[in-house]
Chain A
Amino acid sequence: MDTATSADRSDEFSLAALQPNDGDAAPHSPGEARPRWPAWLRLGAPTWIWAGVAVAAAGFILIAIAWGDVAGESLVYRQLPYLVSAGLSGIGLVLVGLTIINVGTRQRDAIDRDRQIGQVAAILEELRAILDEEWRR
């Protein structure tokens, strides 16, 4: 690393390090391969949160369908299949949707945290380079 050059650019660097990146996407080092997925499909994208809400809503709709079908039958042995197929599946979909929401929000938070830690690490690295050069004199 060219310490003199990097130290001369320290003001510029500190401003650049604090610039927010493109938000949803995780920062990538130059050597790292770019992900193949489009931005809206990457982990931490808001799409996942909305997908979770949609899956949970589908679960509620399934429960409503189960209620409608069961209410239309007067024999218990004909009601039970609706209970199992639509009712329990609806509960399952609600749980899956909640899990997707939970994982999606955690990923978003993790990306923000990584970005902040990356900023501090870059600033400290630059600071170390300046101090190294000072001590060498």
Chain B
Amino acid sequence: MATMSRFRDPFVHAVVALVVLAAAAVITLALGWRGVAGHSSEYDELPFFISAGLGALAMLGFAAALLSVQCRRREEARYRAQFDAVVQAAAAILTAVAERRQAGRET
């Protein structure tokens, strides 16, 4: 059950998608290398360099950067949840003090 609920987490979905994108970029790089190595003239090699080299590099950078953003946002969300507990505790203290003060006035 815990594993299933973990898979329902949107963060896990995003990480899986980005890891797949990064893996696709690495495979594209390998295909580009194969394409460039298989041709002997520069004008045949250049399209491979652009589609596989630049394209894969951009994809890899995109996936890595978004992964970093996702991880940072998860940490921020965790921090906010902890800080929210502090806010709730402060509000509870304020309520308790106000109630005690009100009770002191009535007696």
Contacts and interface: CB of A to CB of B under 8 A. Distances in A.
Interface of A: 7, 10-11, 13-14, 17-18, 56, 59-60, 63-64, 66-67, 70-71, 73-76, 79-80, 82-83, 87-88, 90-91, 94-95, 98, 101-102, 105, 109, 112-113, 116-117, 119-120, 123-124, 126-127, 130-131, 134
Contacts of A120: 83, 86-87, 90
Specify the main secondary structure of chain A where it touches its partner: helix
Among B54, B59, B95, find the residue whose CB has the most chain A CB atoms closer than 10 A.
Answer: B54
A116 B62 contact: no
A-B pairs, 4 with minimum CB distance:
A10-B98, A71-B47, A67-B51, A98-B65
A109 B73 contact: yes
B55 A67 contact: yes
Interface residues of B, number: 36
Nearest to A112: B80
